[in-house]
């Protein structure tokens, strides 16, 4: 059952306000403090192991399936004009299903009005964008969206051993000297944020970063009133293994290049890796999503709901790019004329 957050004064919906950090009535402006009690017992971070299984929870929010992009979206308030925050479509169908409710949340700090002005500024600063883009871009429904993510902190230890050689000179003669070397390369990775929804790429998350993880608090659905949340539909182990592999490879190339600096040949390099002290938070991160149209084509812009940093796609003007290339070709031609 959807839990309504109703204003005592007028019966309107109470929504979370990023400006005040309070629940505010959308009709009369009545403001009250958040209760926050419901999920206070949830752990903020969990220890990661390869056997960890996520359990879906019967949702208290309203869950919808977008028939356009396939996203599962949750809303808290009962009367909201529903639009898929992932693709901007309106074809949302009510679902009765369990979802993965996060342990933690980074609440919105950037208000809707602020997000709209950031979008206007962003669109006005696009290089190669058509001149009329700022006037012609139709602001879609800008929606406040919580993206599910895993915030990992871990230490990786890569041990190695190898047979190496170095040429040494003695009495004007050169010898190839063989050595056996071993050692350890280790590094701590803190707050590595990975998307938990397949419609939002890690590239988008990277472009929106940084999120201030110190502002992460235990999840409470009150922060979602007035916003929406995407469900977790990626596998935590697959996602983590990918990033672990990438970090391991970085440490291995560091080992290789350190050895190359000291020795001439490296043979039989063996490495062993170990994951130490891995913890994670399953958290919601705040993003303003705007799916806007220009000349009938859809583009998107995402804004970090904590810092206001914007990223996205904008149309490019053929003539501006043509002009730039023309300019470069012209400059080369001119240089050629001057030189010869
Ligand atoms: Zn009210
Ligand atoms: Zn959609």
Q: Domain ranges in the chain?
A: 1-34, 44-53+102-331
Q: Which ligand is nearest to the CA of 197?
A: 2
Q: Which ligand is nearest to the CA of 11?
A: 1
Q: Which ligand is nearest to the CA of 300?
A: 2
Segment 111-114 long-range contacts (CB within 8 Å, at least 24 positions apart): 111/17, 111/18, 111/19, 112/18, 112/142, 112/144, 112/288, 114/308
Residue 13 C-alpha to ligand 1 middle, in angstroms?
Answer: 7
Q: Which residues are close to ligand 1, an ion, with C-beta < 5 A?
A: 7, 9-10, 12, 25, 27-28, 30
**H-helix or E-strand spanning residue 117:** helix 112-124
Residue 300 C-alpha to ligand 2 middle, in angstroms?
Answer: 13
Residue 85 C-alpha to ligand 2 middle, in angstroms?
Answer: 7
Phi-psi region of 65 (alpha: psi -120 to 50; beta: other; left: phi over 0): beta
Predicted TM-score (pTM) of the model is 0.84
Residue 254 C-alpha to ligand 1 middle, in angstroms?
Answer: 60
Per-residue pLDDT of the chain (340 residues; tens, 9 = 90+): 334 578 989 988 889 999 999 999 989 989 999 886 555 566 689 999 989 998 888 777 788 888 888 888 888 876 556 788 888 888 888 888 788 889 999 999 999 999 999 998 998 888 777 777 776 666 667 889 999 999 999 999 999 999 999 998 888 899 899 999 999 999 999 999 999 999 999 999 999 999 999 999 999 889 999 899 999 999 999 999 999 999 999 999 999 999 999 999 998 899 999 999 999 999 999 999 998 888 888 888 999 999 999 999 888 876 676 676 767 777 777 777 777 6
Instruction: Give me 244's structure tokens.
Output: 């672990």
Q: Which residues are close to ligand 2, an ion, with C-beta < 5 A?
A: 66, 68-69, 71, 84, 86-87, 89
Residue 82 C-alpha to ligand 2 middle, in angstroms?
Answer: 11
Residue 39 C-alpha to ligand 1 middle, in angstroms?
Answer: 25
Predicted pLDDT of residue 166: 92
């Amino acid at each position: 059952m959807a839990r309504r957050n109703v204003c005592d004064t007028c019966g309107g919906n109470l929504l979370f306000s990023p400006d005040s950090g309070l629940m505010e009535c959308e009709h009369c402006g009545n403001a009250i403090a958040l209760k926050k009690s419901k999920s206070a017992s949830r752990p903020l971070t969990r220890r990661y192991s390869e056997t960890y299984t996520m359990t879906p929870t019967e949702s208290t929010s309203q869950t919808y399936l977008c028939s356009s992009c396939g996203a599962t979206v949750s809303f808290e308030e009962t009367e909201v004009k529903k639009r898929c925050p992932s693709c901007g479509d309106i074809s949302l169908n009510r679902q009765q299903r369990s979802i993965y409710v996060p342990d933690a949340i980074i609440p919105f700090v950037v208000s809707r009005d602020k997000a709209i002005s950031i979008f206007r500024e962003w669109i006005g600063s696009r290089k190669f964008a058509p001149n009329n883009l700022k006037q012609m871009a139709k602001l879609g429904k800008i929606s406040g969206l919580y993206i599910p993510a895993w915030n990992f902190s871990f230490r990786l230890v890569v041990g190695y051993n190898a047979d190496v050689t170095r040429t040494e000179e003695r009495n004007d003669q050169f010898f190839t000297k063989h050595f056996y070397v071993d050692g350890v390369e280790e590094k701590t990775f803190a707050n590595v944020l990975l998307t938990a929804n397949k419609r939002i790429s890690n590239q988008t998350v990277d472009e929106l970063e940084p999120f201030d993880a110190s502002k992460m608090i235990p999840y409470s659905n009150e922060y979602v009133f007035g916003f929406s949340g995407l469900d977790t539909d990626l596998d935590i182990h697959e996602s983590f293994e990918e990033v672990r592999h990438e970090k391991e490879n970085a440490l291995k190339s560091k080992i290789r290049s350190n050895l190359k600096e000291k020795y001439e040949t490296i043979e039989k390099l063996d490495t062993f890796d170990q994951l130490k002290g891995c913890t994670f938070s399953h958290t919601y991160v705040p993003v303003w999503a705007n799916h806007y149209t220009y000349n009938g084509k859809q583009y998107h812009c995402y804004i970090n709901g904590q810092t206001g940093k914007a990223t996205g796609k904008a149309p490019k003007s053929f003539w501006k790019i043509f002009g730039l290339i023309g300019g470069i070709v012209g400059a080369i031609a001119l240089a050629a004329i001057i030189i010869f």
